[in-house]
Structure 1
């Protein structure tokens, strides 16, 4: 990739921008300037205003006050989408790649031919050249739906750059990548930055900000709080800017040992899923929190989805307490006392057209009135109790669940999983894409459930999640290769995940 010509002044600016949605002020007088070739972090708690600022920087909304500028020039009209695509592109946490089209068709969507009919061979050649330019090792003739998460993100970045944009917004780009994939992504981002591409990097993982970004801006409660060189802002100062509080948020109080006499919450015997994991035996005791981690190909997510009823195993048995669970059935898992927080809250965890209260009480709807009928007042009372217990920031039980920030939406999913007082709680990456304070709230609720006797099986890539566990199992290529007791070091876990000696 040829380096860009240097540009004097900021590549993009938000100057004193304000945005309101009805009576809600989503941004209030925010200013941010990003220089060419900078990888600029934007951090803040869920609801701080990050998504609203992105909507202004990408032309999805027009500010009610202030101005967006590109290279010192006012942003184009919102309706001029072609002009916006030439200035900025956004790679969202949820992929915009169309799975039923090929990679080449996705790369040149709506511009397959400059004029006349599409010349498919020429289109593939153009795609080959584009992918080679950005070192994306993907077959342009492959169906996009067959790509893994990392490949889809790289295709989206290549597509954005091919449209002329040299300012790219990356929204939680590592949320679904394993450690190796994150390293490869960061290597590519550094190369793009060296070539003059400017990036706005949005992440809740502050260690990533220190790894890949040179400047950071913090928003809190819809207002600008801080902008400065990453090297000059310490971790505690950054978290304090985000929360407005003194911090020790990553400090985890040790749990008392689970008694040897505790009952059994989960027993797996010879559980197998061909192509995902080999025969596996596991016991989780009542009140115990067992973590499972590993790379993206380790089989950890498939294991949790099997226990939760989303996948049917090839062989083996699942028992909750003394009850055998019919495999491959979510209703059977629920009936046996399993609560599940799935990996993708948008696709598997929430029904977007229903309210917060309806989503939170779905598994216990038959308890909210006589003969299976739902008494609205009873459902509202139960939902209000959940909102208070799990600190769900919402206007009320009737608010659409789609109006919630990521962290609060995840709290609704957790509330629903715990609504049945399950004997076993299964969590898959429970804090992915949520802010620091929401992580603390979610994990606090998990610990409270465990203290009350619920067994917990928690699959996570986050070390801070795993610190709450009584022990951590590490999976590698479908097998459990290590079991680490509480007090493990980061080096122990990372080495086991990567399949090397610590």
Structure 2
């Protein structure tokens, strides 16, 4: 862990010169048709440090690491590794130089073993024959080096947890003799215990001289794991080599946004006692996942589900949405009971879902923004059985303006939007459709501080307009700050329910750790 009492001040005159960077990116510029994604970015990373890269979605972080990974070619600028300028024309070249990137969407192959994944694409061979025994031995050694000797090289990766798959990705990086490892939102799918284990692994790597570039929107993580911070805004470096342990949060937010942002939740106006019940869930169960889940959501109310990853929260939302067939219980919207396992029935009844994995489950990334927004409203927009693209664009533009989605063009592909704006596009879909119940699963995952505040305000406006909202988040403060009423879920059961103002983070953690039914 970072020693928060260390002296991060610059050395006095005459003292030893600072360490020479292992990696230096100088004046990196990247043009795309009609846009400049990077405008002279500088980044210095020392050997054996955790260098955190911060910035709002759209600030240029993803483009920068793709340049480093060889996925994009810079328009200008240079990359220096160990004092020598290098070219990285493709991802294989990056690995040959010892630069490995672990993306948020892990690229492991579930159907292969751990050892096969570790050496995928650079299999060990001799005389044209794969050296399977040597691959297993080397994989076992790398897993031991990462502090996870319990993971078998023979195990099928699809049977591992998200944390286990992440360790496999790190082992793959080590198999390339990586000296620089880039981690993009590595904690996004981990619970609190797994995050601490991740930090232990990262510190083990840096103790061996490996440099880690760590990207996260969670400022509390940056404090714990980071050594120095570089901040990007609008494709430029606006803060360099800031001490992670001591730089004030207000200063980091000001650098990221260009303004002072209060990290606050909207005021809860309170739900009238006579507000009608919109969503009524009774004794809901999904065999082997959760059971005996009952709750109601009134018009204008936000109900939050708090708990650890794997507690069954996401599965509850998916069952309400009809994506999973319940094994017991009932779901009713405005008194009308829904058919089990039917997404069409749920949508027709007025239920909308913004899923946890918005890129793979919510958006059609290569389709334009307007098509993604109108996806659930085709029947209403179609004329004579044909889609009216003019009507689609008009409906989408209305939502883009209302949501302040940036950039505002509706014809650009959804994949070009930042995480926060992709989430706005999903919300826009249900605003166009007009839903009575909105289910939000991890709505701010991978979303920066400024965009989070906008999303919180938007969700509260939807509730104030009469929408019943159910939100799942792994960040307990987010649930407590956004919801009117909180259900604590542990091991597939609701173990506590209370008004949000009557429960705090410590109590939630006590409940989910013990799993005791209250």
CA distance in 1, matches of 2:365, 2:139: 36
Residue among 25, 33, 54 paired with 2:36: 25
Aligned partner of 2:123 in structure 1 is 112
8 Å contact kept, 1:361–1:419? yes
Give the superposition deviation at 1:450. 0.6
8 Å contact kept, 1:41–1:216? yes
Q: Check if 1:415 corresponds to 2:440.
A: no
Aligned partner of 2:133 in structure 1 is 121
Aligned partner of 2:415 in structure 1 is 402
Aligned partner of 1:56 in structure 2 is 67
Aligned partner of 1:132 in structure 2 is 144
Q: Using structure 2 for the length normalisation, give the TM-score.
A: 0.92
**1:345-372: per-residue Cα shift (whole Å, max 9, x none)?**
1111011232100110111112224344
Aligned partner of 2:3 in structure 1 is none
Q: Secondary structure at the match of 2:433?
A: coil
Q: Secondary structure at the match of 1:231?
A: coil
CA distance in 2, matches of 1:494, 1:240: 31
Change beyond 3 A, Cα 1:311–1:382: same
Aligned partner of 1:489 in structure 2 is 504
Q: Check if 1:288 corresponds to 2:301.
A: yes
Give the superposition deviation at 1:464. 4.4
Change beyond 3 A, Cα 1:120–1:478: same
Greater shift after overlay, 92-101 or 457-466?
Answer: 457-466
**1:198-221: per-residue Cα shift (whole Å, max 9, x none)?**
101101111111111010111001
CA distance in 1, matches of 2:235, 2:371: 28
**What is the 5 A alignment of 1:97-496?**
97-115=108-126, 116-136=128-148, 137-227=150-240, 228-248=242-262, 250-394=263-407, 396-466=409-479, 467-487=481-501, 488-496=503-511
8 Å contact kept, 1:424–1:454? yes
Change beyond 3 A, Cα 1:268–1:71: same
CA distance in 2, matches of 1:83, 1:312: 45
Aligned partner of 1:3 in structure 2 is none
Unmatched 5+ stretches in structure 2:
1-17
Number of aligned residue pairs? 494
**1:15-34: per-residue Cα shift (whole Å, max 9, x none)?**
12211112311111211111
CA distance in 2, matches of 1:342, 1:197: 35
Unmatched 5+ stretches in structure 1:
1-6
Greater shift after overlay, 58-67 or 309-318?
Answer: 58-67
CA distance in 2, matches of 1:8, 1:456: 51
CA distance in 1, matches of 2:366, 2:122: 34
Aligned partner of 1:4 in structure 2 is none
Q: Using structure 1 for the length normalisation, give the TM-score.
A: 0.95
CA distance in 1, matches of 2:91, 2:375: 43
8 Å contact kept, 2:285–2:292? yes
CA distance in 1, matches of 2:131, 2:238: 51
Give the superposition deviation at 1:264. 0.8
CA distance in 2, matches of 1:158, 1:306: 36
Q: Secondary structure at the match of 1:10?
A: coil
CA distance in 1, matches of 2:512, 2:211: 32
Q: Secondary structure at the match of 1:347?
A: helix
Change beyond 3 A, Cα 1:310–1:85: farther
Q: Secondary structure at the match of 2:129?
A: coil
Q: Check if 1:13 corresponds to 2:24.
A: yes
CA distance in 2, matches of 1:303, 1:70: 48
CA distance in 2, matches of 1:152, 1:496: 28
Change beyond 3 A, Cα 1:448–1:85: farther
Q: Secondary structure at the match of 1:164?
A: coil
Q: Secondary structure at the match of 2:59?
A: coil
Greater shift after overlay, 114-123 or 69-78?
Answer: 114-123
Give the superposition deviation at 1:114. 3.0
Give the superposition deviation at 1:79. 4.6
Q: CA RMSD in A?
A: 1.8
